[in-house]
Structure formats: structure tokens, C-alpha cells
Amino acid sequence: HAMSSSLWRVLMVLLLWALPAPALAGRHLETTHFYIYCREIEYRNGTIKDADLTRWGSWLEASYTKLVDDMGFKAPYHPIAEDRKIKILVHSFAESDDYKDRALNPGFAVIATGLIHLNRVNYVDHTRDEANQCTIAHEFFHLIQYAYDKREEAWLMEATARWAPEQVFPAL
């Protein structure tokens, strides 16, 4: 039998967590606390550039520094990552059968894996940088929340995740 797309997706996420960045196909940037990945085709065709990866990495590190180092929140939980780095996938939700229902969503965090997905369509547009900074801090805070309690009330999770960007990027 052919493997279902859901099972395939779960296996790919587990593989992503288990392997260090160089073992994966595609372009990546490693920062102190994060691996940011994009598909090689999006890098080769110029959709995503090194400067984009660097910019996103600086926003992620700013979120980590403010929320974990300065404010004392727990660092996000890494279920199986030996390298303890948080994995970020930048891809087009609209071009994936698994994420078409989220085509307009700028990003989301996955509770079970501590993985952040960012919608590439939003992040290569420099006119959206302020909104994208907010999304990155928001989704990162969801990973912090999961380190405490994955079963908290949804309204509380969203309200506090909306609070986080104001702490990380107060000028926005």
C-alpha cells in the first residue's frame, strides 16, 4: 500500500528533527538556536536569498533572547533533536496539498514536534517585514507555551502569543 500523505508528513518531520541541517536537501541557515530551511528550488530560482535567511534568523534570535534569556521563559522543548536547535521550515503553503487550507496563513507552530512553518509567500516580501517579525515572535512564543502546558485554553494561548511580539519588537 502507498504511504498516506499524513504518515509521510509525520515521518518527514521526525527525520527533520533527528538530522542536523547539512543532512537535509535544500538551503539552510544555522543560528545559535535555530535551523531555518527552504527548498533548494526556491533558493536556486531566486525566490529566497541568503539575505532573507539571515534576516529571518536575526528575528528568531531576537525573540529567543528577549523571551527566554531576558524574561526567563522556558526554552522550547525539543522532542528528539540532539542538536537542541529549533527547526523552521519556510515553504509555500499554497503549493503543498497538505497546507493549501492555510494558504493565507503567515505561519504556524506544531505542538507535537516544536516545529515552526513559515509561509514563504509572506516572508520574501520586504514590505511585510513588520508583520513578519510579529508572526515569528508569535509562533516562537507558542513553542515556549508548549514547554509549559500543551492543553491550555486556546484563547489564553492566542492572547499571550499576541502579547509576545510587543515585548520582542516594541517599536512595531
Tens-place pLDDT, residues 133-168: 988 999 899 889 988 887 888 899 999 999 999 999
Q: What is the DSSP string of 35-46?
A: EEEE-HHHHHTT
**pLDDT, the chain, mean:** 76
Residue 115: band (very low, low, confident or very high) from pLDDT cuts 50, 70, 90: confident
Please say whether the beta carbons of 106 and 135 come within 8 A.
Answer: yes
Residues 6+ apart with CB under 8 A from 97: 5
Taking the complete model, does pTM exceed 0.75, yes or no? yes
Please say whether the beta carbons of 26 and 39 come within 8 A.
Answer: yes
Name the residue with cell 507558542.
142
